[in-house]
Amino acid sequence: MASAVDPVVGIAQALSIVIGATAAAALAPHLVVLISGLAGGVIGLMSWRKCSIGMGALYVLGMGCMAWLFAGSLSELLSIAWPSLADRRFLSPIALLIGAIGHRWPGVGKWALGLGRTLIESAIKREASK
């Protein structure tokens, strides 16, 4: 596999100077997810124009927390689909995506349910035609 920059390793190395290698290794994945979720929250905030500075800060913080809650589980599910990639490779992009979707989650949920329904219906039709 080609070498790539791993943000978890990078943050762990930087933190190990201050807090030690063991604590840094435990804390680094959480910081990567939180930083990516906050960055995604800033991207999502760009489409939400009607807010004050305080509301915007709470929005970005909320997106960071939501990314922190869900990115680990989603990255483990994706690593099952792609076993050649470690689950920590998915942490940062998933957290960024969770934060960037932001207040548009109801629409994304409807789209995902519609996609799932279409895939199931096409699989049933394919089996019925055999």
pLDDT in tens, 50-61: 778 888 888 889
Lowest mean pLDDT across 62-71, 78-87, 121-130: 78-87
DSSP 8-state class, residue 51:
-
pLDDT of residue 14: 83
Q: Is the pLDDT of residue 2 over 50?
A: no
pLDDT of residue 3: 52
pLDDT of residue 99: 87
Whole-number mean pLDDT of the chain?
83
List of long-range contacts for 4-8, beta carbons under 8 Å, 24+ apart: 4/89, 6/88, 6/89, 7/32, 7/36, 7/91, 7/92, 8/32, 8/88, 8/91
- Render pLDDT for 13-33 as a digit per residue (tens, 0 to 9): 888 888 888 888 888 888 888
Mean local confidence (pLDDT), 62-83:
85
pLDDT of residue 1: 42
Q: Contact 50/78 with Cβ under 8 angstroms?
A: no
With a pLDDT cut of 70, the percent of the chain lying above it is 96
pTM: 0.72
